[in-house]
Structure 1
Amino acid sequence: MPTPRDQRDANTLDLLGDPSVEEVRLVSRPESASAARRLTVSVLRLWSLPHLADVCELLVSELVGNAVRHTGARTFGLRMPRRRGWVRVEVRDPSRALPCLLPVRELDTSGRGLFLVDKLSDRWGVDLLPRGKTTWFELRATDR
């Protein structure tokens, strides 16, 4: 029998789309980071990988924040393809400008996004597309 949390997850995916099935387009606004986090956590729960939720929530927020702040796009896309042993989260935007991993000092209040992605993910990168790019990170998906 589904729990209330399971029902909320299903409702979120029904309402916004399921990024594990196809790309979900979101409006390029700061508040869309919340929707991206909800989608990400909902998919992880459906995959029985809730132990990855905290890290994925933080990292998807950073990628969405970069797409919203630095690309000037009207929308961005969120996908979550899964391969055996790995969870991948992708944020696609129409800009071909590459994100920069900057050195971070202890008292810096900005510029930490890709630093966090670099430190907390198992791997990450950027794929240039004919029109835009996909910035992604991957985490090992071991069942617990």
Structure 2
Amino acid sequence: MPRHHAEGDPWVVLQLLQAPGSARVARSSLRSELTAAGLAHDLVADAQLIMGELVANAVEHGRADREGMIEVAWLLTTDRLLVRVRDSGSGARLAPGSLDIGHAGPEDRGRGLALVDRLSDAWSADTHRAGTQVTATLMRGDR
């Protein structure tokens, strides 16, 4: 699996096919690295769920690059974990806090980002000419 660290860039970056199976690959890779780093089980589980939801959105609603890929990445610092997913699509208007999981039924859409909103300490969505990037932040405090 293509994984790289650009020189001077501390992010772990994976280029994955824009395909449903990529969510599983992203979650598994993230779990392996975070578990090896000794992170708490609850933080790892939350990060995996967030990563899976963001990749699923990029697969379903985003657009792959010319090679058919999307990018997933994470950055572990002393106090936080950042999880990022990029695709080449234009994205919808997304805003933290604008989604409510409590009022959505099983057939309703938008539940994934509501989960991201609930599980992360913060998240943001940036849309620009090159595509859409969604980043979630999880603090590494007592979990």
| Contact 1:92-1:134 within 8 A present in 2 as well | yes
| Contact 1:98-1:126 within 8 A present in 2 as well | no
**1:98 positional shift:** 3.1
Cα-to-partner distance string for 1:14-57 (whole Å, 9 max, x where unaligned): x4426764421000011110000011111211221142111111
* Structure 1, unpaired ranges of 5+: 1-14
For residue 83 of structure 1, the aligned residue among 50, 55, 77 is: 77
| Contact 1:48-1:143 within 8 A present in 2 as well | no
TM-score, with length taken from structure 2: 0.78
Matched, 1:63 2:57: no
2: CA distance, partners of 1:117 / 1:123: 9
Give the SS at the match of 1:135. Answer: strand
Larger deviation, residues 32-41 vs 50-59: 50-59
| Contact 2:27-2:51 within 8 A present in 1 as well | yes
Cα-to-partner distance string for 1:105-143 (whole Å, 9 max, x where unaligned): 252334201100111111111133440121011111137
Work out the number of aligned pairs and report it: 130
RMSD between superposed Cα atoms in Å: 2.3
- Identity fraction in percent: 31
1: CA distance, partners of 2:18 / 2:122: 25
TM-score, with length taken from structure 1: 0.78
2: CA distance, partners of 1:23 / 1:113: 22
The residue type equivalent to 1:93 in the other structure is D
Runs of 4+ in 1 over 6 A off after TM superposition: none
